[in-house]
Structure 1
Amino acid sequence: MNVAMQVDEIAAYLDEVFPQVRGDFVIEAVADRAVRVRMPVAERHLRPGGTVSGPAMFALADVSVYIAVLAMKGREALAVTTGGSFDFMRKPVAGVDLICECRLLKIGRVLAVGDCLIYSDGMEEPVARASMTYSMPPK
């Protein structure tokens, strides 16, 4: 399958249709059915105990799958999350960026299913794993 949008195009499109996440995520790479997205961890992402909060990690996975759908389908502003499963495996390093390696397991006419591994930058083992399902509006 051919990539429909590249990093710069997706970033500009997100600024246009989803400006509330501007600056929260950095698209590092786009490939066939795969993306790599960085979340610069800030104080607002931390929870008591000095670790990155679950909602912040969930947002990274969710946005990463959305970016992967955009990369493969093109401008699908109304693609929406219809399901998600999350496993927290290790404590992320506080103050260290999170990296999401996302691959689409299915990219169909109506549904896309993505699998995400989230790492603290520099760690070899993932801190979390997510599976997300997106639905595309009918044409």
Structure 2
Amino acid sequence: MADPQPVLDAAGVNALLRRAFPDAQPAAFPNVLEVAPGRVKVMAPYRDGLLRPGGVISGPTLMSLADTAAYALVLAHVGDQLMAVTSSLLMNFLRGAKPGDLYAEAEMLRLGRRNAVCDVRLWTEGPHRLAAQANVTYAIPA
């Protein structure tokens, strides 16, 4: 089966996300860097306050970016469906995420009429040193 084709580019997805979350601070908000068939790449800028004791990026921060990347992936492929919602998020923490900009690459595993299943991989040091991996399912409104 071929990868689903996006209907929005990175700029279009970023515009939708900013419309959905108008109160988010632009300097701290994740940015969609790339959109490709069945994939997106997202970056959340590093800032003070993301670290947990031990000097690594906190789990809630990683989970938030995983969810945002999956949402961006769904929007890129279904368009203006801001009421799509997370129905499942399973997170696997693989190693501590060192301080730095946090990246996520999301891949569409299945895109149906009612739900989308995504694989999300997160890192700060490089995609060869994953900090976490998530499986995220989004419910798409009828």
User: TM-score, normalising length from structure 1?
Assistant: 0.93
Distance 1:4 1:122, change over 3 A: same
Deviation string, structure 1 residues 51-81 (Cα, Å, up to 9, x no partner): 1000000010000000000000000100000
Q: CA deviation at 1:123?
A: 5.9
Alignment RMSD, CA only? Answer: 1.3
Q: Which amino acid aligns with 2:19?
A: E
Q: Distance in 2 between matches of 1:89 and 1:134?
A: 23
Count of equivalent residues? 137
- Which whole-Å CA distance do the structure 1 matches of 2:119 and 2:126 have between them? 20
- Give the whole-Å Cα distance in 2 for the aligned partners of 1:123 and 1:134: 24
- Gapped runs of 5+ residues in structure 2? none
Runs ≥4 residues deviating over 6 A? none
- Residue 119 of structure 2 is aligned to residue 111 of structure 1: no
Alignment of 1:30-69 (within 5 A): 30-69=35-74
* Unpaired stretches in structure 1, ≥5 consecutive residues: none
Change (3 A) 1:20 1:49: farther
**SS of residue paired to 2:49:** helix
**Amino acid aligned to 1:11:** N
Confirm or deny: 8 A CA contact 1:99 1:121 kept in the other structure. no
Q: Please give the alpha-carbon distance, in whole angstroms, between the structure 1 residues aligned to 2:121 and 2:12.
A: 24
Say which SS state the counterpart of residue 100 (structure 1) adopts: strand
Find the counterpart in structure 2 of residue 70 from structure 1.
75
Q: Does 1:4 align with 2:35?
A: no
Distance 2:57 2:137 in 1: 23
TM-score (norm 2): 0.91
Which amino acid is 1:75 matched to?
D
Give 1:125's aligned residue.
129
Given candidates 7, 19, 22, the residue that maps to 1:16 is 19
> More helix by proportion, 1 or 2?
1
